Structure 1
């Protein structure tokens, strides 16, 4: 990707995207931009469209309409017009969000959104998450007690997902958008601090930035280091598995011979590989305790979220909750 050399912010955005695309994309692959209509995703679409010839990938967009706002139809229409103007194919998917979900509206919306990503046709789904989102996710996961893996926050490469702007500040993204004359929509719910992430964004991170100007950058860097440590723990889990397949069900004996810390790490690793939302460290300890301490004739079953872990005939199983 050649930089426009119009401003440092434009350069930073384009260079970041170039690095990720050159590292992760093979020639001829199909990229799908997750297009909400917000400034981050609009900038992502703009950069990728302008430079797709040089990188030789095809491009389309996906808009997920959650139907949670009175403006949902307006946002979908905006994305349709934007893609029509640019000649970019758009798929608009309408999802149903469980408003009374046990783990909250935010998580329910995230689940159905990521399900839409999983079902989208394309080699890579490109998201517009930026450095502020990374710092916010780190704090959110820390206060929820998700452990080292949660502290790693988001990865630039995560299976099919790509986040080229993860090292770029929101301010640089907005400067890029204005310099390019882009328009976008604003989600009014982003100001509502009744939502946990908005509370962290506005009531915690904003004061932190004022008091400690390098806070966001340092938090994002910490998340990256946590991610490296999490990768090492994954490698340890693979060693502890030996010749046992890395999926459920698996023999309880694999856990029984390990120290408590290594057994907990292995259980977390296997849950992550199964695509299951990882429970808190406290909950993992309780799951492990019940699996290992129950009498041989008992069949402990522990629920977390939408899943149950149980012990049966010497095997550890993962099943959907009834």
Structure 2
């Protein structure tokens, strides 16, 4: 009976999805998920792969990877091992491991595949309680959906006891991660010390929590539906937020729009305090300020009444790179490749034989620009060309000896005037 229940539940969850990548740790949950998919694969047109993420936190990790590889060979499932590095001194190793795990998995996930993970009913209960501990609202208390974007959780309505019963019935073998017994971790503390006592008193507690999470999901979906038109009105085509309409919204509506924006760009949700700080320190900063707020390896910036979400850029101001023009130049910090072009709309002169070419990312002083009367401070030139402050050290500057010739794609100085060469970043 349990065999049929789990198989049918997974089959219903899959719907029309036929290409799957299973996050396979070798534990009982993911072993049952993969085994059930192998059985379904024999009956339906399924393409199933598995991936093991090697965190390197346990001395047994190599053995676990070997176990998973052997099991996949036996079940004739293509298998990937991916190693990730964690900084054990940086704190919150649970969050680090989760972030690194999903980053590695999504690197391998194909555009036409769905990621399948083995979270179950008890995991849902733990996630809900952890969100409650953090003081989360409906979004956090929604816990985990069965499906979102490219992610499926086919076992989310199945209990841990049912999963273990299935594994024992089919005489499956799995690994036991010793860290699961360490109640220093919040999730393990709930699993080992709290939920067993609650389940003794209220055996249906996990199901009731799942129901509450589902109701929170419905409420969150309704809020998003009601706000969707407003969200699209304040969102630019490039993904920035227009601040003028936001200033007229109530605090509640404004915060909901900000959360939608961050979720839209796959950023972990900020706390209420962080939202307040974003508004106070970035949006409400003085007009001549250059405010920045760092949030989960991203930066939030304001420029010309728009709110930007950007990566954390490295400082390139001191970079000086020699270039001979003969091949594309790879620029630092993923800025792109710099090319020298010799046809169509050429804007600069070629260097003289005795002139040395360098690429830099910082300039100062007054400049005379082609087709402009008088000189301009470079800060004014950036402003006139609507270049945000954080981009001003990411635009390559071409120098012949110590003379600035051009800011690629922005302006050419009188000293670089000509029609023999052009520069482009790709």
Equivalent of 2:143, from 147, 153, 164? Answer: 153
With structure 2 as the length reference, what TM-score do the two structures score? 0.69
Give the Cα separation in 1 of the matches to 2:135 and 2:310: 23
* Corresponding position of 2:213: 223
Give the Cα separation in 2 of the matches to 1:59 and 1:41: 13
Say if 2:280 is the partner of 1:280.
no
Give the Cα separation in 2 of the matches to 1:121 and 1:272: 20
Name stretches of at least 5 consecutive residues in structure 1 with no aligned partner: 1-6
Give the Cα separation in 2 of the matches to 1:247 and 1:135: 38
Q: Which structure's CA Rg is the greater one?
A: 2
Say if 2:78 is the partner of 1:85.
no
* Corresponding position of 1:131: 121
The one of the two structures with greater contact order (alpha-carbon pairs below 8 A, sep at least 6) is 1
Give 1:246 deviation, angstroms.
7.3
Give 1:119 deviation, angstroms.
1.0
With structure 1 as the length reference, what TM-score do the two structures score? 0.91
Instruction: For residue 80 of structure 2, give the secondary structure of its aligned residue in structure 1.
Output: strand
Give the Cα separation in 2 of the matches to 1:145 and 1:270: 21
* Corresponding position of 1:108: 96
Give the Cα separation in 1 of the matches to 2:287 and 2:193: 50
Instruction: For residue 50 of structure 2, give the secondary structure of its aligned residue in structure 1.
Output: strand
Name stretches of at least 5 consecutive residues in structure 2 with no aligned partner: 314-426
* Corresponding position of 1:295: 286
Give the Cα separation in 2 of the matches to 1:216 and 1:135: 5
* Corresponding position of 1:117: 105
Per-residue CA shift, 1:167-223, capped at 9, x if unaligned? 000000000111111110011101101111111222222221122211111111111
Query: Is the 8 Å Cα contact of residues 135 and 220 (structure 1) preserved in structure 2?
Result: yes
The size of the alignment, in residue pairs, is: 310
Query: Is the 8 Å Cα contact of residues 146 and 278 (structure 1) preserved in structure 2?
Result: no
Give the Cα separation in 1 of the matches to 2:238 and 2:155: 33
Equivalent of 2:31, from 29, 39, 42? Answer: 42
Query: Is the 8 Å Cα contact of residues 30 and 58 (structure 1) preserved in structure 2?
Result: yes
Instruction: For residue 37 of structure 1, give the secondary structure of its aligned residue in structure 2.
Output: coil
Give the Cα separation in 1 of the matches to 2:125 and 2:93: 21
Change (3 A) 1:148 1:285: farther
Give 1:277 deviation, angstroms.
1.0
Query: Is the 8 Å Cα contact of residues 292 and 302 (structure 2) preserved in structure 1?
Result: yes
Task: Give the superposed CA RMSD.
Answer: 1.7
Say if 2:174 is the partner of 1:184.
yes
Query: Is the 8 Å Cα contact of residues 145 and 281 (structure 1) preserved in structure 2?
Result: no
Give 1:226 deviation, angstroms.
0.9
Query: Is the 8 Å Cα contact of residues 241 and 254 (structure 1) preserved in structure 2?
Result: no
Query: Is the 8 Å Cα contact of residues 10 and 172 (structure 1) preserved in structure 2?
Result: no
Equivalent of 1:16, from 4, 9, 20? Answer: 9
Which runs of structure 2 are paired with 1:137-286 in the superposition (5 Å)? Answer: 137-243=127-233, 244-245=235-236, 248-286=239-277
Equivalent of 2:305, from 296, 314, 319? Answer: 314
Give the Cα separation in 1 of the matches to 2:204 and 2:37: 29
Per-residue CA shift, 1:107-160, capped at 9, x if unaligned? 000011001121114401111110000111111122123322111111111211
Query: Is the 8 Å Cα contact of residues 236 and 242 (structure 2) preserved in structure 1?
Result: no
Give the Cα separation in 2 of the matches to 1:284 and 1:53: 50
Give the Cα separation in 1 of the matches to 2:107 and 2:170: 32
Give the Cα separation in 1 of the matches to 2:302 and 2:154: 42
Q: Which has the higher helix share?
A: 1
Instruction: For residue 284 of structure 1, give the secondary structure of its aligned residue in structure 2.
Output: helix
Structure 1 residues 183-192 or 13-22, which shifts more?
A: 13-22
